[in-house]
Amino acid sequence: MKKNIKIDINQSVTPGLPRRLAAMLYDALLVFGLLLLASMVVTLPVGMLAGEAASQALAEKLLFRIWLALVPPAFFLLFWLKGGQTLGMRSWRLRVVRDDGSPLQWPDAAKRLLCALLSWLPLGLGYLWILVDRDGLAWHDRLSGTRLILLAKR
């Protein structure tokens, strides 16, 4: 399915919490690997040129921490904007769309990402809300005007 096709939300299925959590676990492993890679890209050359002490000192620098803090948002934003799916979402046949079924744009994706953080803050209560919400939506789905849909098997 192409990313610019509008999906009929009324005909789609909203995934449950277990499927969402499985996709999140998969993505968390991928983000962890990307963080290791992003860290290595910076610390290995410094360590080879200036020694291990310089590499350790670099890890304490604010700019290095900002570099690493940008990795997870970049992962989610780029995948959501490219096709509405991260690799974990693709594995579990999930896609994120706007409430009207159209693909996410930059403001939608950024708002969803920030609202997803709010869903995690109170011990994941925003995600558990899926269990009681009449439409099976999490807090960040409602707040950002986006939703996950379950794609049909190929």
Q: Which domain holds residue 120?
A: 14-150
- What does the block give as tokens for 132? 């009681």
Segment 81-92, tens digit of pLDDT:
999 999 999 999
Beta bridge partners of 95: 149
Residue bearing tokens 């590499």 = 55
Tell me, yes or no, whether 1 lies in a domain: no
Which residue from 35, 15, 20 is spatially nearest to 120, judged by alpha carbons?
A: 20
DSSP state of 2: -
Give the number of domains in the chain: 1
Distance (Å, rounded) from C-alpha 115 to C-alpha 141? 8
Segment 23-74, tens digit of pLDDT:
999 999 999 999 999 988 888 776 666 766 666 667 678 888 899 999 999 9
Tell me, yes or no, whether 7 lies in a domain: no
Quick check: 98 pLDDT over 70?
yes
DSSP state of 7: P
Q: Is 32 helix (H, G, I), strand (E, B) or coil?
A: helix
